[in-house]
Structure 1
């Protein structure tokens, strides 16, 4: 059986080096634009090039996130940014938006495209569609069961990636409007305020001011945030 690739996030150059030195097969990171981790340190052009160079010296691959859902104004800047990513030597880009996929294919057709989990690929027909668009890897929706993943694997030839650790988010594969509504920070453009992790109280409509109890543990009570993924005990 083929050994899966172990892919780790790298929020800044120091974290990239730690992930590489501790055995990751690949890392993914965001630049200062077009990524969904605006709160992370992220990488300048120079740091991106240095990070890719360091990883490649150790035989580790690097994928760059370009996974926002782009607005028209983003599209004028995006081609130049893709030039930067390509010049840094990235092994692929992680993309959500079909329009961004098209631009990558147009300006850098040899650059592998990985479809982000934000694109909500939950079935084999959708996976087959993206395979036909030239996507080389699909990062499946986090809501899928093992049996669903297995069936998709049987029906498509494209590479598949799945999350094994981290937040499930309250909306499909992270596409959430709570942060934008409460804090004016658009989660779908990289600026999530983690609104689902705030401490909410449950109030029934006809009994205002009466806070109904619900379960919590020593870490708190997060009524909107799903249980985090933690599959370490299921992976040999």
Structure 2
């Protein structure tokens, strides 16, 4: 009987719930040219800075380019996330609702945030956009990942200082998508909380 069951299982197609999901290869894209290169060389998704609300202000796309970038992603069958990962100051908050509303109308595949004030703002002005937590937040354990899931985020970018085993444990123990950097800058201390990037 065991042999028959084994043969039956072998004849069945793979069960989707038993297969690990394919990782998403996410690449930075500071401008439209870099975005095209990212997709051409195999990235499943890319992220771009949101102009004045990105930590990389010098490489953020202008508002008029954002629609073009999102259209390019959709035409390529890829994803595009917008990074609103700057550390916000009081004087920047008033203009954000309109900016986030306009972004939501363009329908990127999600927003990458680091400032907790953006969680409520995104819920109010971009309720259909998934929220991803930036590496700037320095998530180093599974309980922190679960906390962010409870706040409505769908993905957390883990601290760059974690070992592979630590990252795997967070992914295993939490119910939120985990993202890890596999190449790029390594900022020891508070995982890239470089205030100079804001200027």
TM-score bracket relative to the smaller structure: 0.7 to 0.9
For normalisation by structure 2, the TM-score amounts to: 0.86
Partner of 1:127: 145
Of residues 107, 113, 120 in structure 1, which corresponds to 2:125?
Answer: 107
Shift of 1:171: 2.9
Mapped to 1, the partners of 2:49 and 2:130 lie a distance apart of 16
Mapped to 1, the partners of 2:47 and 2:21 lie a distance apart of 21
Partner of 1:228: none
Mapped to 1, the partners of 2:125 and 2:103 lie a distance apart of 12
Please identify, of 47-56 and 103-112, the stretch whose mean Cα deviation from structure 2 is larger. Answer: 103-112
Matched, 1:85 2:89: no
After the TM superposition, which residues 7-156 of structure 1 pair with which residues of structure 2 at under 5 Å, given as runs?
A: 7-40=26-59, 42-156=60-174
Q: What is the SS of the residue equivalent to 1:65? A: strand
Alpha-carbon contact 1:45-1:84 (below 8 Å) kept: no
Mapped to 1, the partners of 2:85 and 2:68 lie a distance apart of 22
Number of equivalenced pairs: 180
Q: What is the SS of the residue equivalent to 2:81? A: strand
Of residues 17, 24, 37 in structure 2, which corresponds to 1:5?
Answer: 24
Shift of 1:36: 0.7
Mapped to 1, the partners of 2:168 and 2:38 lie a distance apart of 28
Encode CA deviations 1:78-118: one digit per residue, 9 max, x unaligned: 11111221122211000001111121112222111000000
Q: What is the SS of the residue equivalent to 2:162? A: coil
Q: Which structure has greater helix proportion? A: 2
- Aligned-residue Cα RMSD (Å) equals 1.2
Structure 2: any 5+ residue segments left out of the alignment?
A: 1-19
Alpha-carbon contact 2:160-2:187 (below 8 Å) kept: no
Shift of 1:39: 2.4
Q: What is the SS of the residue equivalent to 1:134? A: coil
Please identify, of 74-83 and 165-174, the stretch whose mean Cα deviation from structure 2 is larger. Answer: 165-174
Shift of 1:170: 4.0
Mapped to 1, the partners of 2:40 and 2:165 lie a distance apart of 34
Mapped to 2, the partners of 1:121 and 1:170 lie a distance apart of 13
Partner of 2:190: 172
Q: What is the SS of the residue equivalent to 1:114? A: strand
